[in-house]
Every structure is written in structure tokens, then in C-alpha cells.
A and B are shown apart, each in its own frame.
Chain A
Amino acid sequence: MSWFSRLIGGAKARREVVLLPEQRQALEAWHSLPATDLHCSHNRGRYVVVDVESSGLNMKKDRLISIGAVALNDGQMDFNDAFQIVLRQNQVSTHANILIHGIGGSAQSEGVDPVEALLAFLGYIGKAPLVAYHAFFDQSMIDKAMSEYLGMELEQIWIDLAWILPDFFHFRMDGRVALDDWLQHFEIENILRHNAVSDAYATAKLLQIAIARGTYKGADSPASFIKIEKARRWMHESR
């Protein structure tokens, strides 16, 4: 069991993580979930659209404050399958930062124990592919927290709509399109900008659009989205 050896202490020197028996059990249960078939059609599977709020934009120094997520089940957004959690912070983020996401000092210090929060998140996402816009940031923040609190490397599949959408809609090709531009283009409303759930909700609507377009163009599964993303990245880097 490779994950177990990693848990005990893999190649890199890692901070020792001590989990309670129930927590370890939960983690094991998650690991033993079957992997998702990425070749299964968009409309026969589950996606989890994720958005995080953090203490800042420095991926090395800044901390994960909150995760919001909405799932697409068989292509439809199910509000009962949504997730939001605030991780307990020992040190409250700056005032300027609070103004962005609106998670106040007391909410931060009254948040859920990070280990419990991340276990809950794992339980929620299962093995579903994760989707975000400019996913690198969300992925880094979540991976960092997973490693720090659960001592694990989360090797979840991530799909970045920032790479996928330009392949389907050629309204701006420079690759530096902001989420808000797409939302505006498709007239998608955002309930509360910079709220993790609301941003995930808006991003999920973009995913629905991408899925419909992808299916029409023959890209009808997560695997084909991953392929598109890879090709685009390669093109971008080789330019």
C-alpha cells in the first residue's frame, strides 16, 4: 500500500502527522474507494467543482481558509450535493484579505479543525474529478493542506476550465481570460463573488456549458477534457 508508506514518511522529510483512530479509518475508507472511470460520459458521472478562499495569493506562505464545492451529477447541478467548510485558523488573516472573501476573524477561529475539515472534504469529493477555473491555485492550496494536516499527497484528477473553455469558444484566445470574463460572456450570475460556494456555483454552470459543447464536438468524457487540457498546455509551453 503505497499511500500507507507515504503516510509513515515517504521520500521527503515530512512533518509527523498523528491521526486519531477514527480519522485514520476515514482516510482508509476514502483510499479504498474505487477509482472513477474517466472514459464514462459526462452525463453518467460526477464532477466536483471546487473553489477555495485563502489568506492570500502566495501559495507557499498563505493558508487555506475555506473550501466551497458544488457537484454535477449526470450533468445536473444538485444543490443537496454541495459543500462548504471553513478551516480553523490559529492566526486570523489580514483585514484586507477578510474584505475579499468576507470570512471574518471569529468565523476563522471558530472554523472546523483542519483535519476534520479535510476528511469531510475527502468524504464529499470521493474519487470524482475536481474542476476549477485556474485550478492550479485551488489544487496547490488543497494539496498543501492535505499534506500538512493529513500527511498525504492527494493525487486527485483536476480539470482546469481556463484551458478547456478556449478550445470550445473562441471569443478570446490569449489564455489570460479571467473567470469573470467568461461569466459575463455567458451572462452567468454570481450569487456572491468571492464566496467559495458561489464561485463554485458559477464555475459549475461554465462546466455545464463546456460539457454540452464538448459532447457536441465529441469530447464526451472527463478523459477527453484531460486530453484537451494537456494538449493546450503543451502548445502553450512550446510556443
Chain B
Amino acid sequence: MNNSATEMLVSATIEFLRSYPPFDRMEPEALQFLGEHVKLAYYPKDALIISPESGVVRVFRILQRGKVLARQAGEISLMEHSILTLGPGEGFPIGSVTAQRSSTNIYTALGDVFCYELSADDYFVLMQKSPVFNIFCTQYIASLLSQSRQQLQMQFSQRVAEQQTMNSPLSSIIKKEPLSVTPDTFVREVVGLMAARSIGSMIVVDDEQQPIGIFTQSDVLKRIVLPGASLDIPIRQVMSLDPHTLPLAANAYDAALVMAMHGVRHVLAVDEGGRLKGVVSERDLFTLQRVGLRQIRQTIDSATNIDMLLQASHDVRQLSLNMLAQGVGAEQITQFISALNDTLTRRIIQLNLDRHDLFGIEWAWLSFGSEGRDEQTFSTDQDNGIVYICTDIMDREHTQLRLLEFARDVNSDLDKCGFPLCVGNIMASNPALCLTLEEWEEKFDNWIRTPEPEALLNATIFFDFRPLFGQYNLADRMRLSLLRQTRNNPLFLRMLVENAVGVLPPLGKIRDFVTDADPEHPGTIDLKKFGSRLFIDAARIFALAHDVPATNTVQRIKLAAPLMNVSHEDAAATIDAFNFIQLLRLRHQHSEQTQGREGDNLIRPDDLNEVERRILKEAFRQARKLQQRLKLDYQL
């Protein structure tokens, strides 16, 4: 190899690649390998670079110059959302080269196009050499996901700015123009102003608008009323000198620190010239701090009445919104909502226990459905029940009555705190759901033995139970007997599978999505019914069939996967898909609620952006994969 020439061309190539991801993070040796093994090709405008007809893709291309249009093959009309434009530094087609199959997309040059081309063999060597490249390629879907998450973040960034935290600069906390007076203003006038505007402090400034003193409400008492001072003296005689100031760019923490260190309640914000720009009071900071995880928990734990809990439940929503805006994943948000709702529910139960004597009864409060799975979204109604032990059959009726009375109050308090009463009466106050351990076992047993449609539907709600309060071991015993029953009943599982695969993911044959399932809402997809439910149902079957005690869908998939010989990557792809759908639901519910509507799960694919539509499509494909697996396992 003659080399100064090759070296120069290779290093120019590396230089180019290094300004684009993932090459910017790529290991130097791997990048060198890539630079040495690519060839440069040219395509004129409109040239077909790759099509499904060109067969198995043997070349990985990295765009050096120009733009390439990628569009879905076989579309009748060129719908906008199936088109994607690639620019310099982008590699394609990652999926088909990796899988060594033909491309599903058609790639054409939009103008003069130069491409670095790497043979598939070298592509695989590179994947082995470079963990960075490997991760980039295999987690292609995941990277699309993060892209969409970023877009989501941007969308909410405006709101984030409004959602203030202790990191916010003082300039964003100050709401009102500061009120100030000159040092020669009479006390009478100052006090009059303070009363009229109902403000707690008056700032005294000099001719340059620089604060030189402060006079607060408590000073009125201490320096005027008690000493019997005249109201007709200038304010400078009674004001506190040299008030504490901070630059506008300082944040709420700084202000809190000044207040704590000097025992003052007001800090003045000034601009570069030392001119007064605003007043930050202790109260301003307090309202900032209220919406925080720890604060909410404290509020809940120390609440002594329903009103306080009501405030806390508002805060839970507020904080979940913040988390959504900060790009926290759906899994964390739904778990977080569930966790705080659990705390809230427990507090409500505790408050009611003060009024209801349940002494001597062994019982546990159960959550069902989404709450039982730790997957609550913003709109969740109540799904709960009670399990108890009754040692003496003679006491049963009486015990149940005591529990039911108690449950009625809890249900009604939950309703007040933003968890509407369940329309289907799946509540602890329903005598059919306030049962002894034996009765629950018998109920489950009946459903499993006689899997009628009704029983199968019940299974999807009640089998996802979780204890929330009381004797947790009662729920554990219920779980043990449930798993024992299902394990030994392949027929029941088969029926569940039949039910689960009965709902198909809304993937269209011609169009991307089927959006006319609901005649009342054309153009929409119910993401609960045709989205998350597909994953939830499949995960439940995996769990019941493989003795997995978890109720959370993600947990179920994670725990069942190794038992079913499903690779870690496949399980991760399923989980990503599920989480993405949940994220879309959360976002949609939030936007519905801010517009004062009841949060539903009907999303319009047309409202999604390009990336989201592609991921949603992929997510539905994952659902289809799960269903195919079920059909295979149960020979349907």
C-alpha cells in the first residue's frame, strides 16, 4: 500500500465522519478501520440507490454529500409520513444490512449524492470492533425512541420554564413590579401604600433606584406602634438599612440561603447597576418548593383531613407533568404516579381507620387493574377490594358489614381526592369484592375452571391484584393459590390466549394504521384497547404460565423472558414498544386534561410527527410479534 496518499484520503474521511453520530463517539481504531474500508461512490439526481427489488442489502452506506430520500415501498400514495430525508453523516439502511435482508424502503438521490460505501462483511467486522457502533445499530429503534423523547421534551420545554424549581433564576420568580419610595417619604404614606396594595414590605431607594433600606409589616408594630412614634416622620428614620440583595441571575436556592443565614424574610433582586428589580419573599420560595416528591409525601403523610389530601393529589399530577416534561420515561412516571397514589390511598385508609374500628380482623386492601399493575396514568378510576380472614363462620356476616362500612367511606374519600368511583362497581364497598381468603380462592378457581367470556374478562382485571394496606401475607396466599391453579390449567391459559390475540394491533395493510375501529371517533386509535392492552394481556399470560408473581407488565416480561428463552434484546424491544405507547397515552391524557376534557386514550396518528409514527408502527409490530409467539405456544 502506498500510503501517504491513502493516509491523507483516509484521514480526511475520518475527519468528516467524526462530526456525526455515532462516529463522533466511535473508538479510534474502529474509525480508522471504517476510513480504510469505505469506498466513495456517486449517484446523480433521482438515481435509485436501494430498492426492495435489489435483493439482500450487501452494502452499508454513509452519506457524504447531498440528500437521500427514503420512502416506504409499496405505498399506493406517497403519504408524507412514510418519507424520510437523510443528510450527510447518516448511515443507511441499518436494519436491512444488519438482518441481511432486502430493504423495505426505496432510497433515491435527491441531488448529487456522494456516499461512503462499506461492504456488509466489513460492516459486521466493524460491529464487532466497535461497541459504540454495535449499540448504535442494534438499538436503532431505541435511538429513534430517544429522538422522540427529545422532541417531547422540546414540546414541553415552555411548560418546564413555567414550572419553577429551586434552580430558577430570581428573574423568573419575580412576578410584580417592585414598589418603592424615596427616603423622605412619610411613614404615614408608606404604611398607607402597604395597606392599600397589601404588600408585606416597602423598599426605600435612592435617586439611582438603588435600594438603601427596607420597611416591613412587622416594623410597623415594633418601630411605630409600640414606641408610639409619629407617622409624620420620614421613612429613613425607621427603615432597616442595607437590605440583602442578589443579582437577578441568582437562583431560588441562593435566596433561600440568604434568608436562612440572616434570618430575613425578603431578598431584593437587583440588576447589574444595583437597581431594584424585584422583591422575593419567603412565601414565594415556599410555593416553589411545595411541588416536589418529598414535599408531596410529607404533605400526604401529615395530612389530617381530606382537603389536605386533595391538594396533594393535585400536586401529584403537577409533578408527573413535570417529569413528563423533563423526559422521564413512561415506566418511571406510571410507577411514580402509582407510588404516590398508593401513599395517598394508604393515608385515606388510615384516616378512616380512626373512625372505623377494625380491631381483631385480619384484612388487606387490594388494588386491581392498572393500579394493581403499577401502571396508572393520569386518568384512573378506582379498582379495589378487600380480603379478610374469618375464623368463625358465625361472625362472617358481621365482619363483612364492618369492613363494608369502612370501605364505603374510603371509596367516597378516594372519589373526593380525584379517583372517581368505578362505574363497574369494582370497589371494596361492593359485597362481592369484600371477601374472605377462601371466597377469593373459590372465585378465582371458578373462573379458571369455567372460562366463560365473563370469567376471562374478570381474570384480566382481578388477577393483577396487589396488596396496598393491611396484612400483605393474605395477598401472597391468594397469589400462590392462583398460580397453582393456572399452572395446572392449560385449557384456561389457552382461552386467555384466544381472548388476547382476538384484538389485532391496528396496523394497516395499505395505510400505516387502522383508524376506523371506532365509528364514533374516525381517524383515531384507542391506544389502551389496541395498544397497551395487547402487551398487558400477553405479559399476564406469560406470568401465569411461568409462575411469575409480578403484576407489573414490564416486570412480567423481564422475569418471564429468560424462562421462555426469549433473548434479552427481544424482551427489551418489547418493553420499549410498550413504554412508548404508554408515553403517548400519558401525553395525550395530559393535553386533554389541560384543555378541560376527560382524558381518553384516543390518539390521532395524523397528529403525531414523523418519528413518532414510525416508532408507533414499530411498537405495533412488536405487539404483533408477541401475539404470534402466543399463537405458536398455544397452537392456535
**Chain A interface (Cβ within 8 Å of chain B)?**
68-70, 73, 75-80, 82-85, 120, 124, 186-189, 191-192, 195, 197-198, 201, 205, 208-209, 211-213, 216
A84 partner, pick from B8, B10, B36, B38, beta carbons under 8 A: B8
Which residue on chain A has the smallest CB distance to residue B45?
A: A212
For A216, what are the chain B residues with a Cβ–Cβ distance below 8 Å?
A: 44
- B285 beta carbon closer than 8 Å to chain A: no
Q: Looking at the complex, which one of A70, A186, A191, A197 makes contact with B112 (CB distance below 8 Å)? A: A186
Is B41 an interface residue when CB atoms closer than 8 A count as contact?
yes
Q: Is B156 an interface residue (CB 8 A)?
A: no
| A188 partner residues in chain B, CB cutoff 8 A | 65
Q: Which residues of A contact B41 (CB under 8 A)?
A: 75-77, 208
> A70-B5, A82-B5, A84-B4 in contact; A209/B13 too (CB < 8 A)?
no
**B6 in contact (CB, < 8 A):** yes
Q: Which residues of B contact A69 (CB under 8 A)?
A: 5
* CB of B1 closer than 8 Å to a CB of A: yes
Residue numbers in A under 8 Å from B40 (CB-CB): 76-77, 79, 205, 208
CA of A191 to CA of B112, assembled, Å: 19
A-B contact count (CB 8 A): 77
With A70-B9, A79-B13, A84-B8 known to touch, is A205 a contact of B42 (CB < 8 Å)? yes
Can you list 26 A-B pairs with a CB-CB distance of less than 8 A?
A: A68-B5, A70-B9, A73-B39, A75-B42, A77-B39, A79-B6, A79-B9, A79-B10, A79-B39, A80-B1, A84-B8, A120-B2, A124-B2, A187-B112, A189-B65, A191-B8, A191-B12, A201-B9, A201-B12, A205-B42, A208-B114, A209-B44, A209-B112, A211-B42, A212-B47, A213-B44
Hey, which chain B residues are within 8 Å of A211, CB to CB?
A: 42
Q: Given contacts A77-B39, A197-B4, list 14 more A-B pairs with CB under 8 A.
A: A70-B9, A76-B41, A76-B117, A79-B10, A82-B2, A82-B5, A84-B2, A124-B2, A186-B112, A189-B65, A191-B12, A197-B5, A197-B9, A208-B42
Q: What range describes how many residues of B lie at the interface?
A: 20 to 34
Q: How far does the alpha carbon of A235 sit from the alpha carbon of B13 in the complex, in Å?
A: 40
Cα A172 to Cα B36 with chains together (Å)? 37
Is B43 an interface residue, CB under 8 A from the partner?
A: yes
Q: Could you tell me the distance between the alpha carbons of A75 and B39 in the complex, rounded to whole angstroms?
A: 10
B residues less than 8 Å from A212 (CB atoms): 42-44, 47
Residue of chain A at shortest CB distance from B40: A77
| Chain A proximity mask over B28-52: 1 for CB below 8 Å, otherwise 0 | 0000000110111111100100000
Bound together, the chains give a CA A85 to CA B5 distance in angstroms of 8
A-side contacts of B13, CB under 8 Å? 79
Q: Which residues of B contact A198 (CB under 8 A)?
A: 8, 12
CA distance in complex: A66, B153 (Å): 55
Residue of B40, B42, B117 with most chain A CB atoms under a 10 A cut-off: B42
* A77 vs chain B, min Cβ distance (A): 4
Q: Are A76 and B39 in contact (CB under 8 A)?
A: yes
Residues of B within 8 A of A187 (CB): 65, 112
The 4 closest A-B pairs by CB, nearest first: A208-B42, A84-B5, A82-B5, A77-B40
Q: Are A82 and B9 in contact (CB under 8 A)?
A: yes
B38 proximity list for chain A (CB < 8 A): 79
Q: How far is the CA of A82 from the CA of B40 in the complex (A)?
A: 13
B 93-114 contacts with A by CB, 8 A: 112, 114
1/0 per residue B1-32: CB within 8 Å of A?
A: 11111101110110000000000000000000
List chain B residues, Cβ under 8 A from A83.
Answer: 2, 5
Closest to A124 in B: B2
**Bound-state Cα–Cα, A190 to B43, Å:** 19
Which B residues lie within 8 Å of A192 (CB)? Answer: 8
Interface centre among B4, B35, B43, B117 (most CB of A within 10 A): B4
> Measured between alpha carbons, how far is A163 from B3 in the docked complex, in Å?
31
* B106 → chain A closest CB, angstroms: 19
Contact A78 B47 (CB under 8 A): no
Contacts of B114 in A (CB 8 A): 205, 208
| Per-position 1/0 for B44-77, Cβ under 8 A of A | 1001000000000000000001000000000000
The residue of chain B having its C-beta at the shortest distance from the C-beta of A120 within the complex is B2
Residues of A within 8 A of B12 (CB): 191, 198, 201
What residue of chain B has the Cβ atom nearest to residue A191's Cβ?
Answer: B12
* Closest Cβ neighbor of A197 among chain B residues: B5
A211 to B12 Cα, complex, angstroms: 24
Task: Give chain A residues whose Cβ lies under 8 Å from the Cβ of B65.
Answer: 187-189
Smallest CB separation, A109 vs chain B (Å): 17
Taking a contact as CB atoms under 8 Å apart, the answer to whether B36 and A79 are in contact is yes
A78, B44: Cβ atoms closer than 8 Å: no
A189 to B47, CA, bound (A): 22
CA distance A84 to B2 in the complex (A): 7
Per the bound structure, the CA–CA distance linking A73 and B35 in Å amounts to 17
Q: How far is the CB of B134 from chain A (nearest CB, A)?
A: 24
Q: Tell me, in angstroms, the Cα distance from A80 to B6 when the chains sit together.
A: 5
CA distance A120 to B2 in the complex (A): 10
**Chain A nearest CB: distance from B19 CB in Å?**
13
Q: Pick the contact of B36: A73, A80, A191 (CB < 8 A).
A: A80
